Amino acid sequence: MKTDINKVSKQVLAILKENPDKQYNYRQLSKILGFTTAAQQKTASKVLQQLKTSGQLDEVKKGKFQLKRIKTLTTGIIDFSQRKNTVVFSEELGENIYIASKNTNRALHKDVVEVSIFAKTKKRGLEGEITKIIKRNNQEFVGTIIKSENFAFCSVDNKLMPFDIFIPLKKLKNAKHGEKVIVKISDWPEFAKNPIGDIVDILGKSGEHNTEMHAILAEYGLPYKFPEEVEAAAEQISTEITAEEIKKRKDFRKTFTITIDPADAKDFDDAISLKKLENGNFEIGIHIADVTHYLKEGSIIDKEAYKRATSVYLVDRVVPMLPEVLSNNVCSLNANTDKLTFSTVVIFDEEGSIKKTWIGRTIINSNRRFSYEEVQKIIDNGVGEYAEEIKIFNNIAKKLRAQRFNSGAISFDRGDLRFEIDETGKPINVIYKKATEANQLIEEFMLVANKKVAEKIGKVKLNEEPKTFVYRVHDEPDYERLKQFKEFAAKLGHDISLKNKKTIATSLNNLFKDLKDKPEADVIANYAIRSMSRAIYTTENIGHYGLGFKHYTHFTSPIRRYPDVIVHRLLQQYLNGGSSAIQKQIEAKCVHSSEMENKAMSAERASKKYKAVEFMKDKIGDTFDGFISGITEWGIYVEVFPFKIEGMILVRDIADDFFYFDEEASMLIAHYSDKKYRIGDKIKIKVLRADLIKRQLDFQLINE
């Protein structure tokens, strides 16, 4: 029987497309195709020559053929985080390029790389290999020393780093077996399987509280101590407030002023003042620590602050942006002390409407330091020190909040998981805090100050050129992602309207109100937030979608956020009649600040996850009620009562059936029985494993 040459061509191409890196001769292909006769093998050989002539194959060696490489060069960032595939996303092409592990060419997660695309298959799409590492994302890694008699390795904590790092014994710097260290890659010879590294710092014994907190900071490239020269420079800063300086400022020292902060706060960067005017209106001052009076641009302290860009809040500590002598003393708005401030002073009527705004430098003397708990008690009971003033603040704040939501703001009020920790750092209790009216009181006045400062610079007259400024922007959500959230919410019995911006905000706020105190509230809120864009710093003002503001910035926390420092400097420059700053320079600082904010948030989440696993470690074997907070093809995420701590039931650990994942329905469905598991289902679990190194909790499903 005559062999169909066109059919054989298609079969050969299909084989080579599935294996674009492999080389085949006609005998190998004949074996795969099941060709046994000489005539069939001759056809296979002929097909290979024809495909070579048509430009679809390369003859890489005599008689050896391979799928012709597309040889398109592009650049992108390599991503090892996808569960099954390593990919490079090319902005130029607008799609992912699959990279086989043997073709990563020593590239590491988030490196900027050059890629040579050599194939496109139905199964994977574009395929390629790394030809050049343009920029390393990270060369320092945290891990544990594994030492033998003749060599040592650093076993890296980060699961996205697929290689251990070889440490020559002479480079160990006395690090011991089992100690946690920071290692920097110093060399990676072309044909070496593992990179070679040097010890940068020894963090301490693996598993100890301080070691692990420092390790989390180091993992995200965040510092855990100040250089000695920065600390020394901070100690030299003069705290004297001269009569000459006071003359330059509006004096609020005799105006009633208070600070409201968490009970354990040490740095107070905002205060509010109140004066009742003769016409019945209220003058409320939002006073912010005048950090830039002390933090001179370009100084050694300023450079360190810019590098850090933000304070970092771990479960047991704050790693400040500024040395403590500045953050907790010189700049902090401590009570009964003259303090220099930069203020937004707003006149409100009784309905909370803004009648007038003034922005400028001031001096204050706070009457009293309040905690949120103290203020909330006064709000609840109507009595206490300065109860009348607090009542006025709260009434105006509530009106501002109502106005904001009526104008399209979205309420993402979520609880905050915190840990009570003993003197050794061990978590002994879990506390879940929700925002109170006292929190919202301060929040509303800070929002007003941020908005008014942004409007002062951003709102320009017709034909007037806007000046370069730092904005905190939040883009409108992608409609497709919102549609997915709508479908997700519908499966749980909730309806979301996507008609327009106003109906989206209204229906989301109604949803969160309906969900209040329900166990799935945070799960749905988290899904909603993931459907939204991420807020960033930029000089390009597109407004803040979540707040419903056309102009918004960050002005109110210069002790802990560097963008606020930039805002203070630019604001004063423009109030003085100065020319516009260079947009390119300010934008670069915005990008850096956004990146450092993301790292700080990741470190905070990692520290909470570590403490959550540590808290559950002595509860292995215990059973708890919980509800399903997420479902994937490999397992069920479960949040346990009453701790709101999340772990996973791996599909392979469900022993009584075979389950498959219905992605469209977001459901795990049993093959042999009628069992189904969906988000929001209440279930019972047993704590199976608690892995501190991976920060991972595994649960076992308990069938009742």
Q: Which residues contact 170 (CB under 8 A, 6 or more apart)?
A: none
Q: Which residues contact 25 (CB under 8 A, 6 or more apart)?
A: 63, 64, 65
Phi-psi region of 310 (alpha: psi -120 to 50; beta: other; left: phi over 0): beta
CA dist., res. 134 & res. 111, Å (int): 8
In this chain, the answer to whether the domains covering 72-135 and 140-206 adopt an identical fold is yes
CA dist., res. 453 & res. 442, Å (int): 17
Confidence at residue 211, expressed as pLDDT on a 0 to 100 scale: 92
In SS3 terms, 489-529 reads as HHHCCCCCCCCCHHHHHHHHHHHHHHHCCCCCHHHHHHHHH
Residue 553's Cβ-count burial label (10 Å; 0-12, 13-18, 19+) is buried
What is the topology classification, in CATH, of domain 140-206?
Answer: OB fold (Dihydrolipoamide Acetyltransferase, E2P) (2.40.50)
Query: Which pair of tokens denotes residue 229?
Result: 């020269």
Confidence at residue 599, expressed as pLDDT on a 0 to 100 scale: 95
CA dist., res. 704 & res. 702, Å (int): 6
Q: What is the four-CA torsion angle of 211, 216, 220, 221, rounded to 10 degrees?
A: -20
Are the C-beta atoms of 452 and 344 separated by less than 8 Å? yes
With CA atoms as reference, report the closest residue to 172 among 195, 203, 201, 143.
Answer: 201
Q: Which sign does the torsion angle of CA 31, 35, 41, 47 carry?
A: negative
Are the C-beta atoms of 108 and 78 separated by less than 8 Å? yes
With CA atoms as reference, report the closest residue to 356 among 257, 450, 466, 452.
Answer: 452
332-366 confidence digits (pLDDT tens)? 999 999 999 999 999 999 999 999 999 999 999 99
Residue 143: which H helix or E strand, with range? strand 140-147
**CATH number, domain 5-67, options 1.10.260.40, 3.40.640.10, 1.10.10.10, 3.10.20.880:** 1.10.10.10
191-240 confidence digits (pLDDT tens)? 889 999 999 999 999 888 899 999 999 999 899 889 999 999 999 999 99
- Beta sheet of 676-678, edge-to-edge order: 659-662, 667-670, 676-678
Confidence at residue 3, expressed as pLDDT on a 0 to 100 scale: 62
CA dist., res. 458 & res. 473, Å (int): 13
CA dist., res. 77 & res. 109, Å (int): 8
b/e per residue 672-682 (b: at least 16 CB within 10 A) = eeeeebbbebe
Confidence at residue 160, expressed as pLDDT on a 0 to 100 scale: 87
CA dist., res. 700 & res. 11, Å (int): 46
Query: Which pair of tokens denotes residue 97?
Result: 């390029």
With CA atoms as reference, report the closest residue to 523 among 627, 629, 434, 605.
Answer: 629
Count other Cβ atoms within 10 Å, centred on residue 500: 10
Q: Which amino acid is at 331?
A: C
Confidence at residue 348, expressed as pLDDT on a 0 to 100 scale: 97
CA dist., res. 369 & res. 385, Å (int): 11
Q: Which residues contact 702 (CB under 8 A, 6 or more apart)?
A: 623, 683, 684, 685, 686
With CA atoms as reference, report the closest residue to 325 among 257, 258, 226.
Answer: 226
At the top level of CATH, which class does the domain 618-702 belong to?
mainly beta
Q: What is the four-CA torsion angle of 550, 407, 515, 483, rounded to 10 degrees?
A: -60
Residue owning tokens 């001031």: 362
Are the C-beta atoms of 182 and 203 separated by less than 8 Å? yes
Point out which residues pair with 21 in neighbouring strands.
none
CA dist., res. 668 & res. 648, Å (int): 14
Residue 621's Cβ-count burial label (10 Å; 0-12, 13-18, 19+) is exposed
- The half-sphere exposure of 82 on its side-chain side, counting CA atoms within 13 A, is 14
Confidence at residue 1, expressed as pLDDT on a 0 to 100 scale: 47
Count other Cβ atoms within 10 Å, centred on residue 243: 6
Give the end-to-end CA distance of the chain in Å, rounded to a whole number.
64
pTM: 0.85
Confidence at residue 673, expressed as pLDDT on a 0 to 100 scale: 85
* H-state helical runs in 105-262: 209-219, 228-235, 243-247
Residue owning tokens 């290979």: 48
111-142 confidence digits (pLDDT tens)? 999 998 887 777 778 888 999 999 998 889 99
3-class secondary structure, 483? helix
Q: Which amino acid is at 280?
A: G
In SS3 terms, 427-464 reads as EEEEEEECCCHHHHHHHHHHHHHHHHHHHHHHCCCCCC
Phi-psi region of 549 (alpha: psi -120 to 50; beta: other; left: phi over 0): beta
Query: Which pair of tokens denotes residue 51?
Result: 């495909």
Confidence at residue 195, expressed as pLDDT on a 0 to 100 scale: 95
CA dist., res. 428 & res. 430, Å (int): 7
When computed from its CA atoms, the radius of gyration of the chain, rounded to whole angstroms, is 30
Domain extent listing, the chain: 5-67, 72-135, 140-206, 230-384+392-474+537-602, 479-532, 618-702
Query: Which pair of tokens denotes residue 266?
Result: 């040490």
Per-block average pLDDT, block size 10, for the chain (704 residues)?
Answer: 77 84 88 88 90 85 83 88 82 87 90 88 83 92 91 90 92 92 93 92 90 92 93 94 96 98 91 96 98 97 98 93 94 96 97 96 98 97 96 97 91 82 90 90 98 95 90 90 83 82 84 76 78 93 94 97 98 96 97 97 95 94 91 89 90 82 82 84 93 90 81
3-class secondary structure, 216? helix
Residue owning tokens 């229906």: 507
Phi, psi of 652 (to 5 degrees): -65, -20
| Measured CA distances, 130 to 75, 79, 120, 134, 436 (Å) | 9, 12, 16, 10, 52
Residue 566: which H helix or E strand, with range? helix 562-575
471-473 and 536-538: which strand pairing? antiparallel
Query: Which pair of tokens denotes residue 262?
Result: 């968490």
Confidence at residue 463, expressed as pLDDT on a 0 to 100 scale: 82
Q: In the CATH scheme, what is the homologous superfamily, with its name and number, of domain 72-135?
A: Nucleic acid-binding proteins (2.40.50.140)
